[in-house]
A and B are shown apart, each in its own frame.
Chain A
Amino acid sequence: AQKITQTQPGMFVQEKEAVTLDCTYDTSDPSYGLFWYKQPSSGEMIFLIYQGSYDQQNATEGRYSLNFQKARKSANLVISASQLGDSAMYFCAMREGNGGFKTIFGAGTRLFVKA
């Protein structure tokens, strides 16, 4: 079974608008961390934001925020005021407390920002 599911292969958003990228996860481990990474066409994976399973507040980092709904096992990334430079592949990922060094990645969502 897929542990991280990103159901949107591609998304379009108008510049300056907000966009939500979906991520659902599946784990029986009560302790886990959720990550979002951005990968531009240049190839580098850029860490954006982190949310821990025990965190009470939704994580925010600048224009990025994570809509964490634990009961629904979802961790959607919200990008506010989209910029042309936000066009990239976005990966949701999870590290489980019992998973050792392994990080599980979703299939990714390609975001296109239109001018």
Chain B
Amino acid sequence: DTEVTQTPKHLVMGMTNKKSLKCEQHMGHRAMYWYKQKAKKPPELMFVYSYEKLSINESVPSRFSPECPNSSLLNLHLHALQPEDSALYLCASSQGLAGGPSWIADTQYFGPGTRLTVL
């Protein structure tokens, strides 16, 4: 089973709202990722959690706040977003193999994404 689930599928929010995106996997993966994808562009990495600790923050504005409550769950808290933040937000997970030749084979499995519209 290579399923990553994301909720909600669609989200419309105003610039003053607070909302959260949720991602879940039950593959025993220890690395989880948030990506932002604009139309007709490749995904852009936002955050990576490894063993529930924040490993990478790609200089993402503080209006995006990630959280990894446990090894299966990843949240992205949204506050005071701008219209240009409207995008597809993808969650992914991978085994999180560290070091050695297996590292390069650490395949990411993606969820279906949340389409976010900021008004």
The answer to whether A and B come from one shared complex is yes
CA distance A83 to B117 in the complex (A): 32
CB of B92 within 8 Å of the partner chain: yes
Segment touching B, from A15-23, A48-56, A62-70, A71-79: A48-56
- Say whether A43 contacts B113, CB under 8 Å: yes
CA distance A57 to B56 in the complex (A): 33
Q: How many residues of A contact B (CB 8 A)?
A: 27
- Say whether A31 contacts B104, CB under 8 Å: yes
Per DSSP, are chain A's interface residues mostly helix, strand or loop, or mixed? Answer: loop
Q: Given A52-B101, A106-B42, A101 and B50 touching (CB < 8 A)? A: yes
**A-B pair number, CB within 8 angstroms:** 66
- Say whether B33 contacts A53, CB under 8 Å: no
CB closest chain-B residue, reference A102: B45
CA distance A100 to B99 in the complex (A): 9
Q: Given A43-B112, A101-B31, A102-B56, A50 and B107 touching (CB < 8 A)? A: yes
CB of A11 within 8 Å of the partner chain: no
Near B by CB (< 8 A), chain A positions 14-58 give: 31-33, 35, 37, 42-47, 50, 52-54
- Say whether B112 contacts A44, CB under 8 Å: yes
Q: How many residues of B contact A (CB 8 A)?
A: 28
Near A by CB (< 8 A), chain B positions 41-73 give: 41-43, 45, 48, 50, 55-56
Give chain A residues whose Cβ lies under 8 Å from the Cβ of B110: 37, 44-47
- Say whether A96 contacts B56, CB under 8 Å: no
Q: Given A43-B112, A45-B90, A95 and B104 touching (CB < 8 A)? A: yes
Give chain A residues whose Cβ lies under 8 Å from the Cβ of B75: none
Give chain A residues whose Cβ lies under 8 Å from the Cβ of B56: 100-102
Q: Given A50-B107, A96-B104, A44 and B113 touching (CB < 8 A)? A: yes
Near B by CB (< 8 A), chain A positions 92-115 give: 95-97, 100-103, 105-108
A26 CB to nearest chain B CB (Å): 16
On B, residues with C-beta under 8 Å from A are 2, 31, 33, 40-43, 45, 48, 50, 55-56, 88, 90, 92, 101, 103-113, 115
